[in-house]
Homo-oligomer: A and B are copies of this chain.
Amino acid sequence: MSEEHVYPTGIGTSTSDSIKLLGQDLAEDVLGQVGFGELAYWLATKRRPTPGQLRMFEAVLVSLADHGYTPTAIAARMTYYSAPDSIQGAIAAGLLGGGSRFLGVTEDTGTFLAERIAALGDTSEFSADDWDAAARDVVASAKAAGERIPGLGHPVHKEGDPRTPVMFRIAREEGVFGPHLALFEAIGRVHPEMLGRALPLNGAGVAGAALADAGLPLGLLRGFALLARTAGLIGHLAEEQQNPVGPAIYTEVDRNAQYISPND
């Protein structure tokens, strides 16, 4: 058998009388002892989280789980209305909206901060003043390049996103306040004087900073937003099964269609 026939994996394997997951015996050591959020963290990183890391991680997932009638929730409800026999299709349709515009902020913020931090060298002894200085450089270079800083600003919570201070507090309580959260918080402090207006640090951005501090793979940060959103979509579909709004949304859009000549 040639080399290429072998497909390595560290996730799971099973024999006739046992199932291994992440090197543990699933039945003896995992079921009833490892929570679902904990397992998700472990699967993504191959490291078991500490209690503090886990509390922060679950807070992030909870903060991202649902935002009401987002385009992704509407897409899932429309798809369920059209194909009620396929719950998996409705959830998949909802997740497919998890791209650059909505769920992308979490990943964009984590990646943006990680790139800036990589350029700072050793930040382990940074004071608040050091972070402010670093943040001024970040804001200045973004401003000079005409780039938006991800995670800054919110269409509804213009005066401040209520999730943000709570997430910072939990990170400090649990000892998982790392450089990404520190730089993000400092950006929040210094940008008003530099940009001439105060924008809130939004919850999706804090989530991205916290996931990056947790050492989760940057290329998968969007994946955690999608995991969180799956729970929210199940909530929407539960409502759609009991008290559907899909038909009313469809009717409303269809009867307000305005036909324009394709040659106009």
Contacts and interface: CB of A to CB of B under 8 A. Distances in A.
Contacts of A93: 75, 79, 92-93, 96-97
A226 interface: yes
Contacts of A237: 220, 223
B43 A235 contact: yes
B253 A74 contact: yes
Interface stretch (A55-63, A123-131, A136-144, A145-153): A55-63
A170 interface: yes
B258 A62 contact: no
User: How many copies, total?
Assistant: 4
Nearest to A220: B238
Q: What band does the interface of chain A fall in when counting residues whose beta carbon is under 8 Å from B? A: 35 or more
Interface of A: 1, 4-23, 26-28, 30-32, 34-37, 39-40, 43-46, 55, 58-59, 61-63, 65-72, 74-75, 78-79, 81-93, 95-104, 156-160, 162-163, 165-167, 170, 173, 217, 219-220, 222-224, 226-228, 230-232, 234-239, 241-243, 245-246, 248-254, 256-264
Given A11-B235, A39-B231, A91-B95, 5 more contacts: A36-B37, A74-B75, A86-B96, A87-B223, A92-B92
